Amino acid sequence: MKEDLLHFVWQHQYFDKAGLVTTTGESINIINPGFAHRDAGPDFVQAKILIGDIEWHGHVELHVTSSDWQKHGHNSDPAYQNVVLHVVWDDDIPLHYDDKVAIPTLELKHRIKPDLTRSSAALVKNDSKIACADSIHQVDVLTVTSMVERALMSRLELKSSELGLVLKTNNGDWEQAAYQWLMKHMGFKKNSEPMYRLAQQLPLTIIRKHHHDIHQLEALLFGVAGMLSEEVQDDYYKDLKREYDFLSHKYGLKDKEISTVEWKYLRLRPANFPSLRIAQVAQIFHSHPSFFSILTETIDVKKIRELFRVSQSDYWCSHYQFGKSTKHAIPGLGKSSIDGLLINVCATLLVSYGKFTDNQSYIERALDLLAQIKPEKNAIINQWSALGSTIASAADSQGLLGLYKLYCRPRQCLRCSIGAAILNR
């Protein structure tokens, strides 16, 4: 018996409830088993349990053996003083509160069907990447859909907590945090860290002061990126370098420059080269210096998409790197790159801002935005697709990615409604 299964059994009340009594013989009537509590503290909160003639309101704590209570140090932890019922698989020792009163304990060892234990072990130990691949088609559509929606919200909340840390380091300045968050995602995986560092080293206040002049913007971004520190025989490069020398002296940027070795070009398609991405960022802030305000004030998804539909300056329409020209015209950000930014930057910013301001309408706008974007294509989504999942938009694909990463991969089947439905058959 594992605690996960005990948690599952209590949450769904999958045990024989006839003649329930505590280990000291008092009758038990479960009015409300409480709500699962994932953070530190008791496992279930706000439970209502009738023990004998008294209705208790408080927490429920679960353990495989009753002695785990002591092993986990709960006897001296005030967070556990309001536990009204201790639910265990095996009552191996009697337990008492400080005042010598017995802790009401329910033993479930003889009340759980053996086949539930067997089938849950089989499900969790299954070798397939999606453990329920053979049985998910037997689960009703509503259960699957609501689980995917739950996973989508968990994924958005997780990303929003990450963004919350960025906001904290910027003392609650949303425009600055949004700029850094956008920069991080403009690095598209391989260069996300140096892009984020670049945004940390070059404050948005300076970018905004020079937003009207694309040449100065590029000089600032490429200069602090450390990309103007070499000798390149190229007139445009030399111009930017001269401009940057002046601006770096004005703002004291010399010590803020990033080392060129941080930028990765290996195994990247030229369209993803960090030099081109920086040129595109320069153009985004040239056109939309108050990027975050526009995002929060615009309801129209098309207008949000317009934020990224910019073409880089002339030089970068024929160069992927300084001094190396190409014959073909280099387009601006592609549709799938823009979709990625809408999903990872805009939806996350809206959810995070909605949570921060306690305004649900921003969260609904994020969901609406995701529902209007095409689903991503990757190996995980292909697996769900092969199982017949509905994947009509980025809301579906993000939900399925969340389900896979937060539940299937760490084998949290017992905390997943799909797993519960399979085990309940």
Query: Residue 419, interface with ligand SF4 (CB under 6 A)?
Result: yes
How many chain residues touch ligand SF4 (CB under 6 A)?
12
Query: Residue 131, interface with ligand SF4 (CB under 6 A)?
Result: yes
DSSP state of 399: H
For ligand SF4, the closer of residues 145 and 412 by Cβ is 412
Interacting residue with ligand SF4 among 224, 284, 349, 408 (CB under 6 A)? 408
For ligand SF4, the closer of residues 23 and 412 by Cβ is 412
Query: Residue 274, interface with ligand SF4 (CB under 6 A)?
Result: no
CB 225 within 8 A of CB 198: yes
Query: Residue 186, interface with ligand SF4 (CB under 6 A)?
Result: no
| Strand 105-107 versus strand 54-65 pairing type | unpaired
Q: How many CB atoms lie within 10 A of CB 49?
A: 23
Q: Which stretch binds ligand SF4 (CB under 6 A): 100-108, 205-213, 259-267, 412-420?
A: 412-420
Query: Residue 132, interface with ligand SF4 (CB under 6 A)?
Result: yes
Smallest CA-to-CA distance from 28 within 13, 44, 40 is with 13
Alpha-carbon gap, residue 424 to 312, rounded angstroms = 57
For ligand SF4, the closer of residues 315 and 407 by Cβ is 407
Least Å from the CB of residue 21 to ligand SF4? 33
Least Å from the CB of residue 146 to ligand SF4? 12
**Which secondary structure element, helix H or strand E, spans residue 286, and what is its range?**
helix 274-287
Least Å from the CB of residue 365 to ligand SF4? 28
CB 65 within 8 A of CB 92: yes
Query: Residue 407, interface with ligand SF4 (CB under 6 A)?
Result: yes
Query: Residue 276, interface with ligand SF4 (CB under 6 A)?
Result: no
Smallest CA-to-CA distance from 362 within 284, 277, 297, 411 is with 297
For ligand SF4, the closer of residues 208 and 415 by Cβ is 415
Smallest CA-to-CA distance from 104 within 23, 32, 45 is with 23
Least Å from the CB of residue 423 to ligand SF4? 9
Cα-to-chain-centroid distance, residue 172: 20
Query: Residue 119, interface with ligand SF4 (CB under 6 A)?
Result: no
Query: Residue 399, interface with ligand SF4 (CB under 6 A)?
Result: no
Site string for ligand SF4, 76-115 (x = CB under 6 A): ----------------------------------------
CB 369 within 8 A of CB 354: no
Query: Residue 412, interface with ligand SF4 (CB under 6 A)?
Result: yes
Amino acid sitting at position 9:
V
Query: Residue 403, interface with ligand SF4 (CB under 6 A)?
Result: yes
Least Å from the CB of residue 334 to ligand SF4? 32
Least Å from the CB of residue 404 to ligand SF4? 7
For ligand SF4, the closer of residues 130 and 156 by Cβ is 130
Torsion-angle region of 275 (φ positive above 0: left; ψ -120 to 50: alpha; else: beta) = alpha
Interacting residue with ligand SF4 among 9, 130, 219, 258 (CB under 6 A)? 130
CB 296 within 8 A of CB 362: yes
Query: Residue 416, interface with ligand SF4 (CB under 6 A)?
Result: yes
For ligand SF4, the closer of residues 292 and 384 by Cβ is 384
Phi and psi at residue 337, to the nearest 5°: -65, -40
Interacting residue with ligand SF4 among 47, 231, 418, 424 (CB under 6 A)? 418
Interacting residue with ligand SF4 among 324, 413, 424, 425 (CB under 6 A)? 413
Buried-state track 242-281, b at ≥16 Cβ within 10 A, e below 16: ebbeebbeebebeebbbeeeebbeeebeeebbbbbbbbbb
Query: Residue 423, interface with ligand SF4 (CB under 6 A)?
Result: no
DSSP state of 285: H
CB 157 within 8 A of CB 408: no
Buried-state track 181-198, b at ≥16 Cβ within 10 A, e below 16: bbbbbbbbebbeebbbbb
Query: Residue 381, interface with ligand SF4 (CB under 6 A)?
Result: no
Query: Residue 385, interface with ligand SF4 (CB under 6 A)?
Result: no
| Residues of this chain that bind ligand SF4 (CB under 6 A) | 130-132, 136, 403, 407-408, 412-413, 416, 418-419
